[in-house]
Amino acid sequence: MAEERLLVKLGGSLGGAAGVLDELAAHPGELVLVHGGGPQIGAFLARLGFSTRFEAGERVTPPEQLEAVEMVLTRLGKELAHRLSLLGRPAVAVSGRDAGFLRGQAEVRLGRVGRIEEVDAGFLEALLAAGYTPVVSPIAVDGEGALNVNADLAAAAVAGALAVPAVFLTDVPGVLADPKDPGTRIPRLGRFEAEALIAAGTVAGGMVPKVAAALLALDRGAPWAAIATGSPGVLAEVLAGRAGTRFLPEPV
C-alpha cells in the first residue's frame, strides 16, 4: 500500500468496522480519521424519548438534543481511537471543541447544525508530527457553543484544509452506471461528469449527498476523493483503483 497521507471517513452505518480498522492501523502513511454516528445517535435519542427529523438528509438538532448527539459522537471517537491504539497505531479522539480547531456557522433552520467555515490545520499537523492519528468527531463551534456537523461535510472540509485525498467508506461500492447492478461501478469521474450524472438522475437518493461531499473535498483543496464500501482490504483496493469511485477535479 502506498505511503500516502490520507483522510478516511468512516460512516456510522459501518458499526465497529473491525476489519477496516485493522487495515487503517497498518497504513504506512499518516492518517486522519473522521467518523459519523447516525444510527447510534438515532438509537440513543429514541432511548431518551426524543423524535428525530431529517431535512435533505441532515438531522435536525434542537438545542435540547445537542448534548446527547455530542455524547454519542465523543464516545464513538474514544472507542475508535482506543481500538486503533491497541492495534499499534497511537490515536487520539478530538472534536472541533478541542482548541476550537473546527469553526462553523449555524444553519438556524436545522437547530444547532453547522457548516464548517474554518479548519485549523496546524492543530492536526501538530498531532500528526507527534506520531498520533487524529480521530475527529464532527462537532464544530461558533460563538454560542457546539454545532452538529454532517460527518461527510466535515471530512471534506478537513481533507481540503490538509490538502490530502479523502476516502469516504460507507455501505455502497461507489457510483454505479446502473444503480441496481453492482457490476457497473464507475472507477473514475471528473467533477463535471459527476454533476451530469446527478442531473440525469443516475446518481440519486442517498448517493447525492455522498457525491456532493466528495466534490466539496475537491473544492476545498483535496487532490482527489473516493467513495467505496467499507470492507476489509478496501483501502489498498481504492488506492490501486480497483475499488470505489475516484473523483478528480479534471475530466477523465
The CATH number given to whatever domain includes residue 229 is 3.40.1160.10
* 1 assigned to some structural domain: no
Which pLDDT value is given to residue 57?
73
Report the C-alpha gap between 64 and 60 in whole angstroms: 11
Q: Which domain holds residue 228?
A: 6-248
Report the C-alpha gap between 143 and 109 in whole angstroms: 17
Report the C-alpha gap between 90 and 81 in whole angstroms: 8
* 196 assigned to some structural domain: yes
- Check 160, 210, 230, 244 and give the catalytic one: 210
Active-site residue flag, 180? no
pLDDT classification of 114: cutoffs 50, 70, 90:
very high
pLDDT tens column, 180-232: 888 899 999 999 999 999 999 999 888 888 999 999 999 999 999 999 988 88
**What percentage of the chain reaches a pLDDT higher than 70?**
96
* 192 assigned to some structural domain: yes
Mean pLDDT of the chain: 91
- Check 19, 22, 38, 190 and give the catalytic one: 38
* 67 assigned to some structural domain: yes
- Total of domains in the chain: 1
Active-site residue flag, 178? no
Q: Is 221 helix (H, G, I), strand (E, B) or coil?
A: coil
* 197 assigned to some structural domain: yes
Q: Give the residue among 71, 161, 149 at the shortest CA–CA distance from 106.
A: 149
Active-site residue flag, 78? no
- Check 152, 160, 174, 230 and give the catalytic one: 152
Grid coordinates representing 239 are: 488506492
Q: Give the residue among 29, 24, 25, 22 at the shortest CA–CA distance from 3.
A: 29
